[in-house]
Amino acid sequence: MPKVVIHKDGQTFEGEVKDNSNLVVRAGIKQFPYPHFSYRCGMGKCSQCASKILSGAENLPPPNWKEQKMLGDQLEAGWRLPCQLWIHHDLELTQEGFVRDPATLAR
Q: Which tens digit of pLDDT belongs to each residue from 62-103?
A: 999 999 999 999 999 999 999 999 999 999 999 999 987 666
pLDDT of residue 45: 93
**Domains detected in the chain:** 3-105 (3.10.20.30)
Give the Cα separation of 44 and 83 in Å (integer). 6
Q: What is the pTM of this model?
A: 0.91
51 class by beta-carbon count within 10 Å (0-12 exposed, 13-18 middle, 19+ buried): buried
Write out pLDDT tens, residues 7-22.
999 999 999 999 999 9
95 within 8 A of 49, measured Cβ to Cβ: yes
